[in-house]
Structure 1
Amino acid sequence: MNLFSSRNGTRPFLPASFTTITRHGYGFGPFMRDLMAGLTVGVVALPLAMAFAIASGAPPERGLFTAIVAGFIISALGGSRFQIGGPTGAFVVIIYSIIFEHGYDGLVLTTLMAGVLLLIFGLFRFGALIKYIPYPVTTGFTAGIAVLIFSLQMKDFFGLSMADVPPQFTEKWAAYLHHVSTVDPATVVIAVLALAAILLVRRYKPRIPGPVIGVLLAALAAWMFGLDVETIGSRFGGIPSSLPDVVLPEITFERIRELMPEALTIALLAGIESLLSCVVADGMTGESHNSNVELSAQGLANIGSVFCGGIPATGAIARTVTNIRAGAFSPVAGVIHAAVLLVFVLLLADLASYIPLASLAAVLVVVSWDMSEARKFLRLMRAPKSDVAVMCLTFGITVLVDLTVAVFVGVVLAALLFMRRMSEVTRIDSTDEESCPWTSPQPIPAGVQIYEIDGPFFFGVADRFQSILTALQEPPKVFIIRFHQVPFVDSTGINALESVQQRCAAQGGTLLLADVAPSARAMMERLDTDKRIGTNRIFPTLDDALEEARRIVGN
């Protein structure tokens, strides 16, 4: 397989950084646009990267390392012209759970496995398949993640004096209520100040990065008034002013087996969110991303991130939108965004020690509200009951049980409901001499009944078809089954046909097939069904089948 050329009409497997520059050219003007956009996104990403890492149970520098390494790889090798990658809220809950149970070394191995899975998804061109995960499932677990992120912020938002926060939702809130008497007024003031600043800036000056203003005001207020609040420096001892060494996890078959469900969840979340971000960017710019290249870049980014002391990464919708609105021209803007964060780590890391943790909690409270998409969630409550059930079940399992379980259950349930809907779309109608829609020249002889299948004849329909035939008290002498509205037949449908043929033979009747499309005929020949039924009983038209039926019944 040649990955770098078009094959069977598919797009060339080349990164957007290459295709954009070769197609549109590059010069001083585009570079200045990328420079300004990269600087803007870098400033916006700074507090978010640290906040997501802290919320995930990791030191803040791990978020910065992720935004630098993964952000660079996603922009340089990804399939979108404007995508910005880094740590996001989608991973907070599962990262927190993995670190809580397996430590950071377990997270490294899990993310490496997820990166390999994403590479496989991209190289085998599974990009289009991930888009088929139903909207109620993504809405349900995204809203559930938002609730869990919000819940994780309560300790730092209110300055509660308590040890590690339990990962389970109910135990977490029980612990909060148990320690409610330890609320720190100064911390609450700082958190509310940061939250108010973010919301006011978003309302009146949306072009200014609200999280940056909120964090700066909170840090300035804490310093000016000498408030004794917890900061990055007091909890983590500051941020290292250099990148870490390469991290190699302990790899055993037992650990791989144990962590595989979490790795698959991270891979699916990274794939879904990155492609969703690409779709949003395409809608804003009129561009078109390459989903398979994007998934491959996401895999390399996650592998590179944890090798350099980071956490899982994916495309970040909010930062990608900021990049577009700031006037980015090419993926170079994303590379510059990563360089801005690298400069901060190398030269200005000491300043991060003064950032109050309550201000970062306020940032994530806003992020959780944005992630919840409450209006879309409530609007979906008016959707068909099956969609509502899938969304609510996915939401409930995400919050109360486990994100990994929620994704799998939601996808499986949605697939089952889809199969049921497809089986309902397929109609099975019967016609005999009394209900014949044709008057001439081919009336249906007595003792002949026609069944017309309209829609795919697959395993969801086969059982219903057999039930209809079983309900007949007096089987006719000749069954004719029309296939002219059947786009495909699967092996279960074929088995149902063979069962009908056997029943007809046992009761002295005859089964004839009419209007069999080439695709259905090919499936029958592949499974030797044409020989079981009889090649002389499969006809290209209904008229031919009626002629044979008239001969059999003697009319």
Structure 2
Amino acid sequence: MRIDLSNLRGDSYGGITAGVVALPLALALGVASGLGPIAGLYGAIFVGFFASLFGGTASQISGPTGPMVVVVAGLAASLSGQPEMIFTAIFLAGIIQLALGVLGFGSYIRLVPYPVVSGFMSGIGAIIIILQVGRLIGGDPPGGTIPALAYIPTAVSGFNASAAAIGAAALATVFLWPASWAKYLPGPLAALVLGTLLGLTLPAAPVLGSIPSALPTLHLPVFEREGLILVLKAAVVLAALGAIDSLLTSLVADNMTRSRHDSNRELVGQGVGNAVAGLFGALAGAGATMRTVVNIRTGGRTRLSGMLHALVLLAVVLGLGPLAAKIPHAVLAGILVKVGWDIIDWRYLKNAHRGPRWDLALMVLVLGLTVFVDLITAVGVGVVLAALAFVRQVADQQIRAIREMQFEPDSEEEAALLERARGAVQVFDFGGPLSFGAAADLGHHVRQRTGAAALILDFASVPFMDVSAARAVETIATDASEAGKHVYVTGLRDEVARVLAGLDADHHLPMDTRFKVRIDAVRQAVDDLEGGRIEAAPDGVMPPPG
């Protein structure tokens, strides 16, 4: 694969800077996942390198992220003592992402509604913060939101003053670090250095301990019946969340660089990165927004910057492992609290009361399910409810248009012809694609419409049709026929006609009353009316069917 060297200086500076920023985050997220700090570093290395090499967003930096860590931490809590199964889930997640990219699902993943994305991202941020509260004061909380909340009184009773002081210093540093200083020394790295120095003077605080300084060993996938369902479920969740997280970050990169990413290629890159990470005992990753922004702002523009960021971290693993062993848990907890805080969608929360109430309710529901149930349930319920709400809105609009008979003649000739018919010829313009939400009520509303002898069904704006819509059309035509009305069809596309014919829903739509354009159908209907071939109902009202 050809590497673009046209921006070598900018990519070098961006990659090195992103690597420096990624170091404390990779360590902290590795600890939070339950796999250890070295797994976080390996994840940043493998996912960062291969996602950049094969991905579709040139300036994106990938590595462990909050959403991925929350899933892995939950799996680690459920499969305690079985790391091979956890790495198998990460490997399978990569394979799923790779398949999604090859099959072209990249553009569909971005269709998740914003309130759903906002809800589960905010929920993930809340989970990360909850999981770190105990560590900030020297405790060792279990995985899972509810167990971590229940552990807080225990952590308070065993309060460690040294850890609390280090945690407080880390929190103050990451939240108050001036943006102008961050250009030279990122806030998380400053917190890491300060917290580690404090840890040397306050030895009672728990520290990371020994960290391997060698290359990782191979972890082949393990498929055991016990725990297999958990592994498969986690793999699907990791793949979906990683895809969404990465593609959202790709959009941020596009806006900053005025470029356009390739969604499917990005999924392939993320899939390769996570598959390799699972094979070598590393934490799962995705596109990381903060690291990507840092890379772009410091000159990174091509995939070389992401690869250099991974090589910087590899050098750290091989050379600075003994120093990292002195890092206190509390400082990493402080850094992660800031990560969780930044993930929460504060911008939407501050303004949500001014927007649609349904969207706010959906966001809160997804947030609650994310925190207290699980991520896949939250996203699944959110997407289904959002889709149903949208279909209902479209259906209501279509039914309203039908009820109000919002029809305008296309020409003076058409208007004159309909005027001559004096209401005995009615045009029913579907006005667009037929949603299955409106299909059930279409026949009822058409049946209640006033009219006499002829009904013209205009399909010109209907590009496709599903089974529900086809049955609705069949009901309309059948009711009209049984009421003694003549049915004329216009603008019927070949693909729509094939659907109707295939379902035998066109038996009351004769071929000799089908026309390409509406004016021809109107002329024929009026001609048949005036020629006595059809008769208007004396009261101008469609009789009931049957």
* TM-score in terms of structure 1 length: 0.88
Q: Quick one: which of 207, 210, 220 aligns to 2:197?
A: 220
Q: Distance in 2 between matches of 1:462 and 1:412?
A: 19
Distance change >3 Å, CA 416–CA 71, structure 1 → 2: same
Distance change >3 Å, CA 195–CA 96, structure 1 → 2: same
Moved more, 317-326 or 541-550: 541-550
Letter in 2 for 1:158: I
Which runs of structure 2 are paired with 1:191-340 in the superposition (5 Å)? 191-207=167-183, 208-223=185-200, 225-233=201-209, 238-252=210-224, 256-340=228-312
- The answer to whether 1:146 aligns with 2:125 is yes
Q: Quick one: which of 42, 48, 54 aligns to 1:71?
A: 48
Distance change >3 Å, CA 155–CA 506, structure 1 → 2: same
Which runs of structure 2 are paired with 1:516-555 in the superposition (5 Å)? 516-517=492-493, 519-546=495-522, 547-548=524-525, 550=529, 551-554=532-535
Local SS of the residue matching 1:511: strand
Letter in 1 for 2:152: Y
Q: Quick one: which of 319, 342, 357 aligns to 1:385?
A: 357
Question: 1:298-346, CA deviations, whole angstroms, 9 ceiling, x for partnerless residues?
Answer: 1111110011111211111111111111212422121111111111111
What does residue 421 of structure 1 align with? 393
What does residue 412 of structure 1 align with? 384
Distance change >3 Å, CA 45–CA 446, structure 1 → 2: closer
Letter in 1 for 2:207: T
Q: Distance in 2 between matches of 1:513 and 1:135?
A: 40
What does residue 59 of structure 2 align with? 82
Q: Distance in 2 between matches of 1:113 and 1:336?
A: 26
Q: Quick one: which of 21, 35, 39 aligns to 1:58?
A: 35
Q: Quick one: which of 151, 156, 166 aligns to 1:175?
A: 151
Moved more, 317-326 or 503-512: 503-512
Local SS of the residue matching 1:287: coil
Q: Distance in 1 between matches of 2:365 and 2:280?
A: 37
Q: Distance in 2 between matches of 1:407 and 1:432?
A: 38
Local SS of the residue matching 1:278: helix
- The answer to whether 1:165 aligns with 2:137 is no
Moved more, 482-491 or 137-146: 482-491
What does residue 497 of structure 1 align with? 473
Question: 1:89-130, CA deviations, whole angstroms, 9 ceiling, x for partnerless residues?
Answer: 111221111111124223222222211111111111111111
Report the Cα offset of residue 166 of structure 1: 4.7
What does residue 506 of structure 1 align with? 482
Equivalent residues of 1:425, 1:455 under 8 A apart:
no
- The answer to whether 1:137 aligns with 2:109 is no
Distance change >3 Å, CA 109–CA 475, structure 1 → 2: farther
- The answer to whether 1:189 aligns with 2:170 is no
Letter in 1 for 2:118: T
Moved more, 441-450 or 376-385: 441-450
Letter in 1 for 2:182: P
Local SS of the residue matching 1:450: strand
Equivalent residues of 2:425, 2:451 under 8 A apart:
no
Equivalent residues of 1:123, 1:292 under 8 A apart:
yes
The alignment's C-alpha RMSD in Å is 2.6
Report the Cα offset of residue 543 of structure 1: 3.7
Which runs of structure 2 are paired with 1:396-475 in the superposition (5 Å)? 396-426=368-398, 427-429=401-403, 440-443=416-419, 444-445=421-422, 447-471=424-448
- The answer to whether 1:370 aligns with 2:346 is no
- The answer to whether 1:155 aligns with 2:131 is no
Equivalent residues of 1:447, 1:553 under 8 A apart:
no
Equivalent residues of 1:265, 1:407 under 8 A apart:
no
What does residue 8 of structure 1 align with? none
Equivalent residues of 1:442, 1:543 under 8 A apart:
no
Q: Distance in 2 between matches of 1:352 and 1:291?
A: 36
Q: Distance in 1 between matches of 2:505 and 2:194?
A: 76
Local SS of the residue matching 1:159: coil
Q: Distance in 1 between matches of 2:397 and 2:514?
A: 25
- The answer to whether 1:92 aligns with 2:69 is yes
Report the Cα offset of residue 349 of structure 1: 0.5
Moved more, 86-95 or 482-491: 482-491
Q: Quick one: which of 23, 26, 31 aligns to 2:8?
A: 31
What does residue 330 of structure 2 align with? 358
Instruction: For structure 2, list consecutive stretches of 5 or more residues without a partner in the other structure.
Output: 537-546
Local SS of the residue matching 2:111: coil
Letter in 1 for 2:101: G
Local SS of the residue matching 2:402: strand
Moved more, 438-447 or 209-218: 438-447
Q: Distance in 2 between matches of 1:52 and 1:33?
A: 28
Report the Cα offset of residue 475 of structure 1: 7.4
Q: Distance in 1 between matches of 2:354 and 2:213?
A: 52
Q: Distance in 2 between matches of 1:387 and 1:431?
A: 30
Q: Distance in 2 between matches of 1:554 and 1:329?
A: 73
Q: Distance in 1 between matches of 2:323 and 2:424?
A: 90
* TM-score in terms of structure 2 length: 0.89
Question: 1:174-204, CA deviations, whole angstroms, 9 ceiling, x for partnerless residues?
Answer: 2212442222122111111112122332445
Report the Cα offset of residue 230 of structure 1: 0.6
Letter in 2 for 1:94: V
What does residue 111 of structure 1 align with? 90
Letter in 2 for 1:291: S
